[in-house]
Amino acid sequence: MELQDKKYRILDIFFRLLKGEFVSVRQLADEYSVSGKTVSRDINEIRAYLSENEYRNGNAQIEYSYREKAYYLSMDDFLSSKELVVLIEILISSRALPKNSMEEIIDKLEGFTLTKDKKLIQDLILKEKHHYKPVGNDCKNIIDNIWSVLRAIQNQQVITILYYKMDRTIINRKVRPLSIVFSDYYFYLIASHKVEEEYVNRFYRIDRITDIIKHKENFSVEYSERLDEGKLKNEIQYMWPGRNMDILFEFSGPSVQAVLDKIPQSEIVKRDGNKYTIKAKVYGDGIKMFLLSQGAWVKVLEPVELVEKMKSEIAEMAKLYD
């Protein structure tokens, strides 16, 4: 076997360590048909290399685990087990990806993590995978869709999308792709298209785009009209189209912090006992859904149009139960 050859063997041991494996001298000696002493010497050479080039190797060091009776690599560049767990929990609760894509990503993440806590993490992953419930989607491969759209955004390339509308009719629309955002289970493309000589921005769920045609046509966006993605992300609620609004409302529920968290561009302007007056910058009609969800904890004060919308919606809700 080629791995009896020292130079391959040492690469192989290094590769295993870098993938977070526990490396046992006895086991490797068996596997490579060499002596334990030989394997130990190989490991020492890797150790020497690492310690002499520490500065650029993410502080990588070979350490010995008495529990596993084996060597392992500790390295700052690895995801720690803690970070892996957090990532997996967030990824799974996003529910955005089909099960197989989600599993593939988790397997890869696990591949570049210290395996010290293997059992705990594998138990967790197993349980989570088992109960995973992705949201429905119409496209062939959502990851490919996102990527394709992202490249068009970067190249400022005009695209035509074939899109399932909410009512399940299919439309064909030529748009200028501007940005991608993720919110509540779904990835959205923000793109603009021409309506009566003016460009308007719209959201499209990326999982409802069944086809993307890239045109040999580029666009440029005037600096003044350029979409400030971050600002937009911090202003949107529920991904409903609409316009920018400054709103003012009273909140008397148990956790004002949760409201401030939910609407990033918001602040308390008045406090009266348990009642807070909150001012916020929002984008789109989704804010109405959030305000309704809070029931009688929320009373909208401004703008007048929104007050009127709330009133008439509440009146219609009441009518349902007459």
Residues 38-97 binding a second copy (CB under 8 A) are: 45-46, 48-49, 52-53, 57-58, 77-79, 81-83, 85-87, 89-97
Q: Are 80 and 73 in contact (CB under 8 A)?
A: no
320 binds a second copy (CB under 8 A): yes
Q: Which of 39, 158, 259, 288 binds a second copy (CB under 8 A)?
A: 288
The upper half-sphere exposure of residue 298, i.e. CA atoms within 13 Å in the direction of its Cβ, equals 24
Smallest distance from the beta carbon of 33 to a second copy, in angstroms?
Answer: 15
Q: Which of 260, 277, 279, 281 binds a second copy (CB under 8 A)?
A: 260
How far apart are alpha carbons 171 and 163 in whole angstroms? Answer: 5
CB-count exposure of residue 216 (10 Å: 0-12, 13-18, 19+): exposed
How far apart are alpha carbons 144 and 162 in whole angstroms? Answer: 15
11 binds a second copy (CB under 8 A): yes
144 binds a second copy (CB under 8 A): yes
Q: Which of 37, 108, 215, 271 binds a second copy (CB under 8 A)?
A: 108
**For a second copy, what does the binding mask look like between residues 169 and 198, x meaning CB under 8 A?**
-----------xxxxxx-x-----------
| Lateral strand order in the sheet of 198-205 | 198-205, 186-195, 170-183, 157-164, 209-218
- DSSP H helical ranges for 236-275: 256-262
112 binds a second copy (CB under 8 A): yes
Smallest distance from the beta carbon of 281 to a second copy, in angstroms?
Answer: 13
Beta-sheet pairing, 266-272 with 209-218: unpaired
Q: For a second copy, which is the closer residue by CB, 166 or 195?
A: 166
Smallest distance from the beta carbon of 208 to a second copy, in angstroms?
Answer: 9
